[in-house]
Amino acid sequence: MTPAIADPVGHHPVQRVPLVDLLDRVLGKGVVVSGDLSICIADVELVRLSLRLLLSSIRADVPGVFSGPAAQPVLEPAAAPARLPEGSR
Amino acid sequence: MTGEPALWVYAVTPTGSALPSGCGVDGEALRRVAHAGLAAVVSAAGWAGRPGVLEQELRDPKRLETVARAHHEVVEACFRSGPTVPFRLGTLYRSDEGVRDLLAQRREELATALTMVAGRVEWGVQAYAVTSHDPSTATDEPNDTAPPGTAYLLRRRSQRMARERAERSAWEAASQVDAALTAVAVAARSQSSVGAAWRRDTVGTQVLNMSYLVEEAAGDQFRTIVGQLARRYPGLALRVTGPWPAYSFVEFKGGGEG
């Protein structure tokens, strides 16, 4: 059901990375330095931009939290018990 | 419309790491600019060389997505081969010289960040309140004898209260989830999400949105714990993404240079 979650580090296909989570990180995180030409979009505007992008691609890229393609790294609560090793608490 | 020269910076790695084999934004070749043990992974980005062009282009949703995915792909490739400090999308320099200055001026912080993320990965965990789940809501109806209009209002009120109760307990459960995951993580950061607003309509109120920096080797343990938590708190829908390069754990104080 959710092979990506069980994959070793780095083996989930890059194209399948959920867009929202990707934007949260590449636009909202990462090292910020003032380069010679760094992007000068205010945070507020970035959010607006991202939302517009999302709205334009929700159907194509983000089918919903629990109904994504198999490779979407989503852990469904019901799917979890199978992977439970002994004695971890 | 290529203008003045510009270099797109993706990430900083130790000079010992290999250059990723793929290409950068717009298929440009990747190369490294190194200084004092640090290597910045860069590509030419002439299209963004004139001030304002970058912002202009990224206003196009398709272009933004393409650029974001290309940027991430390089960061991810670096991350697969060694410690990686991801840079925010849209960091550009005019020349190798500028990049080297950056590496020199921020040497300490970059080296610290590399140490911090080495052998570790980021997991994103979100929780949503599952409001329809609460089974106690169904039993809340002592209004058989009330007049129809009143019964309706009472039922509505009882539904609303049940929803509020479910959300309240979801918030409490979320803080338990956070505590349990923080305990196995090296570090935790709250994650503000552009997606929280629209997910509320489709999934439920978001009650947790965190990133955890976890030892690479502890990935299975982390996922197991998430699974246990998901079963312990059925009122929460948990969503996990990762492993990510440590985007959320490399923020420098101050932001600017010097």
The interface predicted TM-score of the complex, written ipTM, equals: 0.84
B6 → closest Cβ in A15, A31, A37: A37
A31 → closest Cβ in B86, B98, B216: B86
A30–chain B Cβ distance below 8 A for any pair: yes
Inter-chain residue contact A51 with B192, CB threshold 8 Å: no
Give B3's DSSP letter: -
Instruction: Give how far A21 is from chain B: nearest CA, Å.
Output: 8
Q: What is the CATH number of the domain that holds B143?
A: 3.30.70
Q: Determine, yes or no, domain membership for B127.
A: yes
Give the C-alpha distances (Å, rounded to integers) separating B229 from B42, B126, B170, B216, B252.
Answer: 41, 12, 12, 20, 32
CB-CB neighbors (< 8 A) of A9 in chain B: 80, 121, 216, 219, 243
Confidence label for B198 from pLDDT (cuts 50, 70 and 90):
low
| Percent above pLDDT 70 for chain B | 87
Confidence label for B147 from pLDDT (cuts 50, 70 and 90):
confident
- Identify any residues that bridge with B125 across adjacent strands, giving them in sequence order: B210, B240
Nearest CA in chain B to A71: B241
Q: Which of B68, B96, B117 is the last residue in one of the domains?
A: B117
B131 and B233 together in one domain: yes
B239 and B132 together in one domain: yes
B65 and B87 together in one domain: yes
B110 and B128 together in one domain: no
B127 and B225 together in one domain: yes
Q: Which of A85, A22, A41 lies closest to B122, judged by CA?
A: A22
What average pLDDT does this structure show over B227-232? 95
What average pLDDT does this structure show over B163-189? 94
Confidence label for A27 from pLDDT (cuts 50, 70 and 90):
confident
List, for residues B48-65, the tens digit of each pLDDT value.
888 778 888 887 888 888
Predicted local confidence at residue B134, as pLDDT? 47
Q: Which of B81, B99, B117 is the last residue in one of the domains?
A: B117
B145 and B227 together in one domain: yes
CB-CB neighbors (< 8 A) of A75 in chain B: 223, 226-227, 230, 238-240
The position carrying tokens 């609460």 is: B134
B193 and B210 together in one domain: yes
Q: Which of A15, A49, A56 lies closest to B54, judged by CA?
A: A49
Q: CB of B110 within 8 A of CB of B221? A: no
More confident residue, B123 or A7: B123
Q: CB of A80 within 8 A of CB of B228? A: yes
B82–chain A Cβ distance below 8 A for any pair: no
Predicted local confidence at residue A58, as pLDDT? 53
CA B66 – CA A86 distance, rounded (Å): 43
Question: How many residues does the structure list for chain B?
Answer: 258
Predicted local confidence at residue B16, as pLDDT? 92
Is B69's pLDDT higher than 90?
Answer: yes
User: Number of structural domains, chain B?
Assistant: 2
Q: CB of B54 within 8 A of CB of B92? A: yes
- Check whether the bond before B243 is cis (ω within 30° of 0): yes
B239–chain A Cβ distance below 8 A for any pair: yes
Q: Which of B222, B195, B193, B211 lies closest to B249, judged by CA?
A: B211
Any idea of the CA torsion for A50, A55, A57, A62, to the nearest 10 degrees? 90
Q: CB of B96 within 8 A of CB of B7? A: yes
Instruction: Give how far A71 is from chain B: nearest CA, Å.
Output: 11
B21 and B94 together in one domain: yes
Q: Which of B66, B92, B117 is the last residue in one of the domains?
A: B117
B210 and B136 together in one domain: yes
What average pLDDT does this structure show over A27-35? 82
DSSP per residue, A30-47: SB----SS-----HHHHH
* A26 membership: H or E segment, kind and range: helix A19-28
User: Mutation test of the interface with chain A: which of B41, B50, B89, choosing the one with the most A Cβ atoms within 10 A?
Assistant: B89
A67–chain B Cβ distance below 8 A for any pair: no
List, for residues B12-60, the tens digit of each pLDDT value.
999 999 999 999 999 999 999 999 999 999 999 988 888 778 888 887 8
B113 and B124 together in one domain: no
More confident residue, B60 or B106: B106
3-class DSSP state of A17: coil
Domain that holds residue B130: 120-249
Inter-chain residue contact A81 with B227, CB threshold 8 Å: yes
B124 and B86 together in one domain: no
Q: Phi and psi (nearest 5°) for B22?
A: -75, -160
